[in-house]
Each structure stands twice: as C-alpha cells, then as structure tokens.
Amino acid sequence: MEQVIMNQLSYPILSTVIFLPVLGAVLILLSRRSWEPSAKWIALGTSIATFFLSLPLFLNFDKSTHKMQFAERFSWIPEWNINYFLGVDGISVLFILLSTLTAILCVLISWESIKMKVKEFYISILLTTAFMIGVFCSLDFFLFYLFWEAMLIPMFLIIGVWGGPNRIYAAIKFFLYTLVGSVLMLVGIIVLYLYAGRTFDILELMTKNYPYTMQMWLFWAFFAAFAVKVPMWPVHTWLPDAHTEAPTAGSVILAAVLIKMGAYGFLRFSLPLFPEAAKAMTPVMLVLSVIGIIYGAVICLGQTDLKRLIAYSSVSHMGFVTLGIFALNSQGLEGGILQMLNHGIVTGALFLSVGIVYDRTHTRQIADYGGLASVMPVYAAFFMVFTLSAIGLPATNGFVGEFLILLGAFAANKLIGVLACTGIIIGAAYMLWLYQRVFFLEINNKIAGLPDMNVRETITLLPMLILVIWIGVYPNAFLSFMHASVQHLLDRVNSGGMQEASIAKTLMEVVR
C-alpha cells in the first residue's frame, strides 16, 4: 500500500463524516410525526457535528505528499475483490469540507421555508450530504459507483417533492440525464475490471497501461457521465430547469457540490487512467469549454428569472473549470480545482441570497424588484460582495481561480485564452446589470417595506462571505493542499506512453 497513508487519527474520520449524516437521517425517521419540528434540530445538530468532525482533515493533512491520506481499507465482497476503501488527497480533501459546510447552510436556509413533509426533507438533505462525501472519499470503483448513483435518489426527491410548479418535469429530466451518462460509465468500469485482472481498486488501476484505442473508448464512456454532471455544453439543459424548480437548499447543493463531481471525475479518473486519450482529446475539450463559457454568459443576458440567470452562469463558470483542467499544466489544473471550490462558495451564496428574498416576496422575476438597496441595505451589501466575486474582482476568490485558469489556457492555446476572456467581459455585464435592476433604480411597490436579513439569514451567508475574502486575499492557504497531487497527476499524464492497438485486439484483451 505504498500509494496511501493509513488513517493517522484515533478514529475512522472518513467513515465518520460519511455515516454520521446517515445516523442523523435515521434518528429523524424514527422520531414521532408529532415531534416534526425536532427534525430541524436533529438535522442542524448532525450537520454541525459532521462539519467539526471533518475539520481534522484540513488541520492534519500532509501537504508534502501526493499519497492518499486517512485511508481505511477492509475486505467487503471478497468473491468479486471489492473493498471498502476510502482515502483523500489534495484534490478531494477541500470538497469534503465544502460538502459538510453546505449541509449546515442548507438546513438553516430551509428553517422557515419548508412546511410540508419536514421530516422527509431533512432526511433527504442529510442522505445527499453523506453520499456526496462518499464520492469524494471512495478509492474502490464499486463503492464509488454506489455513492455516485445513490445521491441521485434524495436529490430527485428534493426537486420533485419540494420544488416549484414544474418540479416533476425538472426532476425527471435531471434523473434521466445523469442516469444515462452513469450507465455508460458503468460499462467502462466493468471493462477496466475485466482488463486489469478483476480489481476495482482505483489506485491499482492507475498503475496499469491501457492500449490507446481502449483508452479512447473508455475516455468517452466516462465523459458521458462527467460532462453531464459538470454540465458541459451541449448536455447542460437539465441544469437550468433543476435549479429553477428546486427549493433553495436543492439549488445550493446542486451549485455548491453536486456539479463539481463531474469535474472531479475528470481529475480523478479521466486524466490518470487514460492519459494518452486525454491528451489527444484536449483540443475538443478546450473548444467545448470555451463554447460553454461564452454560450452560458450570453444566455444570462436574456434571463428574467433570478435563479435561471444564476443557473446559466454556472454553465459559463464551470466552462472555466474544464478549461483549466484540460489545459494540462499546473496553473490550469490548480486554477480549475480552486475555481471548483470558488464556484461552490459564490454560486451557493447567490442561491442562498435569492432564497432569502423569495421567502419574502414569492417571486423570482427581476422586474418585480428595484430599489432593494434602500429597503434591505445589509442584504444588498452581502449580495454586492458575491456579485463582485462572481465577476472576478481582485481580492475576491473568483479572481484567483480565473487568473490561474487563464494563465494555463494561454500557455496551452493563445486563441482559446483570448476567447475565454470574452466570457469574463460578458459575465461582468450580466452580473452588474442584474445588480442594478434589483438593487437600484426606483423602489418597486411590491418590495417596499420588506424586512432586512435576520440573525439566522446573516449567520447563513457569513461563512460564504468569509471564504470569499479569505481565498481572495490568501489563496495559498488552499492552493498549498493541491501542489503535490497536481504535480503527481501531471507526471502521470505526461509519462503515459501507450501504444496504439486495434479495436479488435483491445476487445480480445478485455475478453481474456
């Protein structure tokens, strides 16, 4: 086990942060229906405990090594060589902390807005949190796929039960898009399992060399799952519908964590397992990323719904993430990983902010607002910071990630870098125009007299505000986690000297 460092703490930290939310969900399930308000407190207590129990990952992480840390490994289904195998490195550790923090904020923002099937809602939130953390921890493909698919169920329910008027359509579309892509990935996992001597061990699979043709086929099989999750253009159409119809907590989970799993899949699997295919397909991936950046930004200019505008902005911002990843250099990769974290913080905060005014007005139409800065000045100040971060203002987290990505993009292809810059310009236009229409101009009578943010809402947004400034002013506190893992990933990609093989030969090798 030279590729891992076994758990150096006195308790199984990864299993704890995965299954503590499950325990909380079970406690809510077993509570009496007449005690339904207690579901909120159980969910809040569980999510806070999970977050604090995950902090040792941040505090005790060894930044000098690329090895998987805090590893836990037990034989699970020996007949199929399936293990319960967990571990984290510099690519995954920060997203576990983001997941545990997001769970707290989702519980808080839903405190007053969820009035129907309260127990079931908080059970769904906690289970989604557990499964998302499991995805970032899994080092066995069988275990990874279980978590990957399991999180679809509570997320489907969150959209389909507690969503808006078109929630059924949005939930089914979300489920079908993600399921179809995941089935193709499952085929690829089975092929790897058979070819590599019947093992699901992800680290062991990364040590093997695969024929070039096989890499190409498997790259596209995994691409089907990851591109939908990001989502990349043109398989992005489920996201605006899901965001628009989901309750605020659902939108926050989607934006902050769930769509990061597609980009994480590219980093964890596509690049190290299929390095030659990844290099061969880099031009295609860069073009698709730039199309997503520009397309998402232009579409935002025509949106009239607050949540739909932020949803399309996610398509544009996640285009920057994949652009950085497939620049295949250290600046691009580290910028892409940091921007995944930044996007989760800022876009999650924007959806939280929209939820705050929606609970008061029950409208998301931009035209129904105006002059909100004079009615809710504290709220306007929070929203301004998140807006400036979204457009990449220096001293905010958005600037650092986009700057590194553009450095990597220009190093990879100057034309691609120039085209990506146009997305930043359009992004600034639609976000500042949005702020002007909502917070300035004349006060709309529909929003006159609205109360400003209360203590609970302020506490909900404050952690995101702190992270926006912290990462913007001192990004190395987070970038330092990535250096060793990113360099190891680049070494793997650059040393992947595979020999081309015919499709027939590849298939014969797989069968054997």
pLDDT in tens, 74-127: 989 888 889 999 999 989 999 999 999 999 999 999 888 888 888 899 999 999
Q: How far apart are CA 213 and CA 68, in angstroms?
A: 29
Reduced to 3 states (helix: H, G, I; strand: E, B; else coil), residue 224 is helix
Question: Is residue 295, in this structure, part of any structural domain at all?
Answer: yes
Least confident of 2-16, 190-204, 357-371: 2-16
- At residue 83, the 3 state secondary structure works out as strand
pLDDT of res. 236: 86
pLDDT digits (tens, 9 = 90+) for 440-455: 877 777 777 888 889 9
Q: Are 357 and 379 in contact (CB under 8 A)?
A: yes
> Which pLDDT band, with edges at 50, 70 and 90, does 512 fall under?
very low
Place of tokens 């289904």: 77
Residue 502 has a pLDDT of 39
According to the model, what pLDDT value does residue 4 have? Answer: 74
Q: How far apart are CA 381 and CA 424, in angstroms?
A: 22
CA 201/CA 206 separation, integer angstroms:
9
Asked if residue 362 belongs to a domain, the reply is: yes
Q: Is residue 123 part of a domain?
A: no
Q: With respect to residue 242, please indicate whether it lies within any of the assigned structural domains.
A: no
The DSSP bridge partners found for residue 84 are 74
How many separate domains does the chain show? 1
What is the DSSP track for 198-252? S--BHHHHHTS---HHHHHHHHHHHHHHHHHHTTPTTS-THHHHHHHHS-HHHHH
In a domain, 444, yes or no: yes
pLDDT above 80: residue 137: yes
Write out pLDDT tens, residues 467-489: 999 999 999 999 999 999 999 88
Tokens coding 507:
């298939």
Domain containing 372 equals 281-481
Range with lowest mean pLDDT among 272-276, 470-474, 492-496, 505-509: 505-509
pLDDT at 404 over 90: yes
Residue 148 included in any domain: no
Residue 409 lies inside a defined structural domain of this protein: yes
Q: For residue 129, is it within any domain?
A: no
The one-letter amino acid code at 31 reads: S
Q: Which helix (H) or strand (E) holds 4?
A: strand 4-6
Distance between CA atoms of 401 and 386, rounded to whole angstroms? 15
- The pTM of the full predicted model, rounded to 2 decimals, is 0.90
Ramachandran angles phi, psi of 82, nearest 5°:
-105, 130
**117: closest CA among 240, 247, 277, 241?**
247
Q: How does residue 198 score in pLDDT terms, banded at 50, 70 and 90?
A: confident
List beta partners, residue 88: 69
